[in-house]
Amino acid sequence: MDREVCVRDYKIDWIRALCTLTVIIAHVGSPDLVNNIRAFDVVALVMISGMSMTFSSGKYISYVWKRIKKILIPTYIVITFIFVLSFVACKVLHTAQLYSADRIIRSYLMLFDGSMGYVWIVRIFLFVAIMAPVIRMIAGKIKSILVFGGVIVLLALAGFLIYRVYLRITDTMLAGIFDDFLLSPYVYCVIALIGYWFISNKDKWLYLLIGAAVVFAASQMVVIVTGSGFVPNSYKYPPMIYYCAYGVLITFILYKLFPDSNVKAVSWLSGNSFMIYLLHIVVLRVYGLISKISFLKFLDDNWIIEYIVVVIGAVVLTMIVNAVMKLFRSKKA
C-alpha cells in the first residue's frame, strides 16, 4: 500500500487544504459559533485518509513505515524542539518550567489528557494506518448500499457499547487510556472505513449524504431537546455520533462542491498539510509568549489576528523546512 496509483483525486486535495486551515481556528480562541462550524475538519481529515488508501498499493509494512516516517518522526522532532526551547527560555528568564516530566512523557505518548495538546490526532492517524488491512477487507466485501448501511449501524452500536464501558470506568487515568487506545481510535477507524467505501462507490453519494443528514438531524434534535443548540464541537472528546455525523455530512457536501482540478496553491497546502499543522504549534507557542509583553497584550484579545499570524508563520516555516530539506538532499546526492 505504499506505492501511489497514478490516478489522483484532486477533490481530496481541496478538502485537505481547507481542513488544514480550519483546524487551526480551534487553537486561537475563536468564538463558540465559529468553532462549532469548523468542527467537521478532524472527521474530514480522517475520512480522506480512508479515501487515500484506495490510491495506494504495495506491502502493508511498507505502508505503515511510510506513515510513521511522514507523521510520527516529524511530530517527535517538533515537540522535542518545543520542549528544548521552552526549557532554555525558562532557564534564561528564571521562571518555572512550563512542561513537567509527566506532561512531556504524555506528549510523546500522544495522550489527550495531560499532554501539551495538539498531537493526539497523530495517534489517530497511526491507528487508522495500522487498521488499513481491516478497513480495506471490510469495504472490499461490500457492494450494496443497504449492506454497507447495515454494517455502519452495527459498528455504531458496537461503538455505543464501548462507550458505555468507558462511562463505567471510575479511575480517571484508566478512562483516559481506554479512550486514547480503544474508543476514539475505533470511532475514527469507522469514519475512515466510510471514506474508503465512498471513494470506491461514488455513485452512491446521494444515499450516503441522505444517511449522514438524517443521523445528524436526529442527533441535533436530541441535543436541542436537552437544552443546547448547534454544538457539535462539545461532543468531540470522545467523538460522539452527533459530532461524527456532522463531520461526515460536511465532507460529503465538500466533496461534491469542490472541483476535481489541480490548483498549485491547493496542492501545495494539501501536500504540506501535516507539516503546516506541526509548525503551527511552534508559532502558537511563540505568539503566546510575545502577546504577554505589556504593549503587545492586545494581540491576545483578537483571535483573527492570531489566526492570520499563525497560518502565515506556519506556512513560511514549512517553506523554510522544505528548502533546507531540499538542500540537504541535493548535497547528499
- The model's pLDDT over 266-278, given as tens digits with 9 standing for 90+, comes to 999 999 999 999 9
- pLDDT at residue 191 greater than cutoff 70: yes
CA gap 68, 192 in Å, rounded: 18
Is there a contact between 39 and 232 (Cβ–Cβ < 8 Å)? yes
* Averaged pLDDT, 198-221: 97
What pLDDT score was predicted for residue 1? Answer: 41
pLDDT for 57 equals: 67
Confidence of residue 333 (pLDDT cuts 50, 70, 90): low
Q: Residue 300: which pLDDT band, with cuts at 50, 70 and 90?
A: confident
Sequence ranges of the domains in the chain:
3-255
- Residue by residue, DSSP assigns 32-95 as HHHHHHGGGHHHHHHHHHHHHHTTEES-HHHHHHHHIIIIIHHHHHHHHHHHHHHHHHHHHHT-
- The percent of residues above 90 in pLDDT, for the chain, comes to 79
Range of weakest confidence among 89-98, 157-166, 255-264: 89-98
How many Cβ atoms are within 10 Å of 262's Cβ, its own excluded? 10
Altogether, the residues listed in the chain come to a count of: 333
DSSP letters of 270-288? Answer: HHTHHHHHHHHHHHHHHHH
Q: Count of CB atoms within 10 A of residue 99's CB?
A: 17
Asked if residue 238 has a cis previous peptide bond (ω within 30° of 0), the answer is yes
What's the mean pLDDT in 58-87?
90
Provide the 8-state DSSP code for 259.
Answer: -
Q: pLDDT at position 15, please?
A: 98
